[in-house]
C-alpha cells in the first residue's frame, strides 16, 4: 500500500528533481517512441530476478506471480517487434524456454501445484505471439514457439469439463486450489483466443471448431453478452448453481481476449459474423475509457487494484493493437483511444527515483505516486501499440511465420485435473492462502459496472 506520506514525498521528489528524466513522446516521431519504450523497459526489468544472483530465469521478484511474468515476456516481444531493438531478445528467449517445463507445455514443476488455466494461458499467449511475430526461434533441441502454444491449447482443451454448466474450463487446474469450483472468463476466453490464433496461423479447422465451441458455451451461460451495442465479458460463475449466478465484474483483459479472438476469426474466416462481433466488443470497450484514457474501471476508481489487476491494461492494449491490424474497420476508433492513452500514459511516466517510473492514473497530471511491474507494462504496451499500424500483421505459416509445431503437442501428458498429483499439506495451505487472498481482494476491490 502506498502511504500518504510516501506518496507526497515521492511526488515532491518527482516534481523537483526528475522532470528532466521523464518519458516524452511525439506520436509521429518513431525515435521518441523507441526512446520512451527503452526507458520504460529499464524500469520493467528492475523487477526481473532472472539476471540476479540466486534468481530464477523468467521470474519477476515478489510479489509478482508466475503468470504475470508470462504477460511481461509477451510485452518484451512487442518491445522487440515494434521498436526493432534486439537488446533483450536473448533474455526473452531464454525466459520463455526455461519456464516451458519438462513437458514443454508451461506447467513447470515449480508451478505445478498452484497453476491455474489462466496462468498457463498467459505463457501460451506469449508463445503464439512469438510465432506470429517471427521472434527468433530457439535452438532445434529446444521447444519451438508454435509447439508451445499448441501444447498449451491441447492441455487446456483436455480439461474441458462437461460435468457442470454444460461445459467450460474451471479456473483452477487442481482440485485443492480455491477457485476450482469457479468457471471464469479469463480461462475460457484465453482458450478461445489461443484457438483463434492457432486457427489463423496453422489453417487447421479443428482450432476454429474449438473457438466456436468455447465462444458459444460462454454465450450460453451468459458469461458473455453478444449483442449490439453492448457486448461484454463478465468475470465468471460458481458451478454450485450450475453457473446460473454470473459474477459481473468486467476487466479490460477479458474484453481484450474476446475482442482479439473475434478479430482473428474474422481475419481468418472472412465471415461477417465475426467482423460484427469484433465491432461490438470494440465499441463496448468504451466503458474502459475516460475521455479516451484507458483505465481499469472495476478497481481503479477506488484505488483498489491488486498487483495482478494493475497489469491488465497492458494485455488489453496489445489485444487492441492486434485487432486494429486484423480488422481495418476498427482502426479509427482503436487508434484514437490508443493515441490519447499513449500520450496520457507517457506523461505519467515521470516519477520515482529514476525520474521515469510510470503511475496508474493516466488522467492525473504527472506521476500519481503508484509504481510496479503492472504500471510499467501498461504504459509500455499502450505506447508501443500507438505505432502498430506501421508494422506487419501477425504472420501465419503461409505468410512468413517460421516457427514449427505439432498438432498433438502436449497431448501425451495426462490431463492434470483428472489425475491430480499428491501434494504435501504445506503446498496445499500455500496454494489455498494464495487464492483466498486473490479472491478476497477481488471482492473488496471491485465494483459492478452498472449500465
Binding residues for ligand NAG, rule: CB under 6 A, are: 26-29, 31-32, 34-35, 38, 41-42, 56, 85-87, 89-90, 98-99, 108, 110, 154, 165-166, 204, 206, 220-221, 242, 269-270, 272-273, 276, 290-291, 295, 300-301, 332, 335-336, 339, 361, 363-364, 407-408
Place of cell 465471415: 271
Q: How many helices (H) and strands (E) does the chain have?
A: 15, 5
Query: Is the CB of residue 251 less than 8 Å from the CB of residue 313?
Result: no
Query: Is the CB of residue 337 less than 8 Å from the CB of residue 292?
Result: yes
* Nearer CB in complex with ligand NAG: 290/307: 290
* Nearer CB in complex with ligand NAG: 286/332: 332
Residue 154 C-beta: closest distance to ligand NAG, Å: 6
* Nearer CB in complex with ligand NAG: 209/429: 209
* Nearer CB in complex with ligand NAG: 361/385: 361
Beta-sheet pairing, 246-247 with 236-238: antiparallel
Determine the Cα–Cα distance for residues 87 and 214; give it in Å rounded to an integer: 38
Torsion sign (Cα): 265, 266, 271, 272: positive
What would the grid cell of residue 439 be? 479472491
Element (H or E) spanning 327, and its range? none
Q: Count of CB atoms within 10 A of residue 14's CB?
A: 24
Query: Is the CB of residue 105 less than 8 Å from the CB of residue 148?
Result: yes
Backbone φ and ψ for 351, nearest 5 degrees, come out as: -125, -165
Tallying the residues shown for the chain, one arrives at: 451
Q: Which of 208, 226, 323, 316 is nearest to 268 (CA)?
A: 208
Residue 405 C-beta: closest distance to ligand NAG, Å: 9
Residue 372 C-beta: closest distance to ligand NAG, Å: 16
* Nearer CB in complex with ligand NAG: 67/295: 295
Determine the Cα–Cα distance for residues 297 and 161; give it in Å rounded to an integer: 31
Residue 145 C-beta: closest distance to ligand NAG, Å: 16
Residue 432 C-beta: closest distance to ligand NAG, Å: 20
C-alpha 438: how far from chain center: 17
* Nearer CB in complex with ligand NAG: 160/439: 160
Determine the Cα–Cα distance for residues 295 and 360; give it in Å rounded to an integer: 8
* Nearer CB in complex with ligand NAG: 86/392: 86
Determine the Cα–Cα distance for residues 265 and 379; give it in Å rounded to an integer: 28
* Nearer CB in complex with ligand NAG: 175/242: 242
Residue 59 C-beta: closest distance to ligand NAG, Å: 6
Query: Is the CB of residue 171 less than 8 Å from the CB of residue 117?
Result: yes
Determine the Cα–Cα distance for residues 76 and 64; give it in Å rounded to an integer: 16
Determine the Cα–Cα distance for residues 426 and 79; give it in Å rounded to an integer: 39
Determine the Cα–Cα distance for residues 256 and 287; give it in Å rounded to an integer: 13
* Nearer CB in complex with ligand NAG: 59/233: 59
Residue 445 C-beta: closest distance to ligand NAG, Å: 12
* Nearer CB in complex with ligand NAG: 301/414: 301
Residue 422 C-beta: closest distance to ligand NAG, Å: 19
Residue 224 C-beta: closest distance to ligand NAG, Å: 14
Residue 358 C-beta: closest distance to ligand NAG, Å: 14
Residue 437 C-beta: closest distance to ligand NAG, Å: 21
What would the grid cell of residue 290 be? 475516460
- The separation between the first and the last C-alpha atoms of the chain, rounded to the nearest angstrom, is 30
* Nearer CB in complex with ligand NAG: 87/436: 87
Amino acid at each position: 500500500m502506498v502511504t500518504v506520506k510516501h506518496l507526497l514525498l515521492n511526488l515532491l521528489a518527482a516534481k523537483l528533481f526528475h522532470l528532466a528524466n521523464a518519458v516524452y513522446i511525439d506520436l509521429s516521431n518513431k525515435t521518441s517512441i523507441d526512446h520512451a519504450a527503452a526507458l520504460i523497459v529499464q524500469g520493467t526489468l528492475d523487477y526481473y530476478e532472472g539476471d540476479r544472483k540466486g534468481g530464477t530465469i523468467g521470474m519477476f521478484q515478489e510479489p509478482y506471480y508466475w503468470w504475470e511474468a508470462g504477460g511481461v515476456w509477451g510485452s518484451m516481444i512487442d518491445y522487440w517487434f515494434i521498436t526493432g531493438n534486439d537488446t533483450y531478445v536473448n533474455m526473452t528467449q531464454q525466459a520463455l524456454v526455461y519456464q516451458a517445463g519438462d513437458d514443454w507445455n508451461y506447467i513447470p514443476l515449480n508451478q505445478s501445484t498452484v497453476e491455474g488455466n489462466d496462468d498457463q494461458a498467459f505463457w501460451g499467449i506469449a508463445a503464439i505471439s512469438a510465432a506470429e511475430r517471427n521472434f527468433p526461434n530457439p535452438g532445434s533441441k529446444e521447444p519451438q514457439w508454435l509447439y508451445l502454444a499448441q501444447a498449451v491449447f491441447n492441455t487446456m482443451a483436455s480439461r474441458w469439463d462437461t460435468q457442470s454448466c454444460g461445459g467450460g474450463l474451471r479456473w483452477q487446474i487442481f482440485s485443492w486450489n480455491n477457485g476450482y469450483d469457479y468457471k471464469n472468463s479469463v480461462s475460457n476466453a484465453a482458450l478461445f483466443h489461443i484457438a483463434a490464433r492457432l486457427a489463423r496461423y496453422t489453417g487447421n479447422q479443428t482450432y476454429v471448431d474449438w473457438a466456436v465451441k468455447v465462444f458459444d458455451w460462454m454465450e450460453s451461460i451468459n458469461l458473455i453478452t453478444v449483442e449490439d451495442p453492448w457486448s461484454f465479458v463478465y468475470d465468471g460463475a460458481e458451478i454450485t448453481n450450475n453457473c446460473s449466478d454470473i459474477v459481473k465484474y468486467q476487466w479490460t483483459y477479458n474484453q481484450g481476449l474476446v475482442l482479439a479472438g473475434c478479430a482473428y476469426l474474422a481475419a481468418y474466416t472472412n465471415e461477417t459474423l465475426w467482423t460484427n462481433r469484433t465491432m461490438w466488443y470494440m465499441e463496448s470497450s468504451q466503458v474502459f475509457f475516460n475521455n479516451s484514457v484507458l483505465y481499469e474501471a472495476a478497481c481503479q476508481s477506488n484505488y483498489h487494484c491488486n498487483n495482478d489487476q494493475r497489469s491488465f491494461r497492458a494485455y488489453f492494449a496489445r489485444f487492441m493493437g492486434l485487432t486494429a491490424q486484423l480488422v481495418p474497420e476498427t482502426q479509427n476508433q482503436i487508434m484514437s483511444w490508443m493515441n490519447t492513452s499513449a500520450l496520457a500514459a507517457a506523461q505519467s511516466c515521470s516519477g520515482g527515483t529514476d525520474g521515469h517510473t510510470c503511475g496508474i492514473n493516466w488522467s492525473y497530471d504527472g506521476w500519481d505516486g503508484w509504481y510496479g511491474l503492472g504500471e510499467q507494462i501498461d504504459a509500455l504496451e499502450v505506447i508501443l501499440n500507438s505505432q502498430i499500424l506501421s508494422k506487419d500483421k501477425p504472420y501465419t505459416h503461409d505468410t512468413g511465420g517460421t516457427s514449427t509445431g505439432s498438432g498433438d503437442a502436449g497431448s501425451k501428458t495426462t490431463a492434470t485435473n483428472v489425475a491430480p498429483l499428491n501434494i504435501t499439506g504445506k503446498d496445499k495451505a500455500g496454494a489455498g492462502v494464495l487464492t483466498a487472498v486473490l479472491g478476497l481482494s477481488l471482492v473488496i476491490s471491485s465494483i459492478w459496472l452498472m449500465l
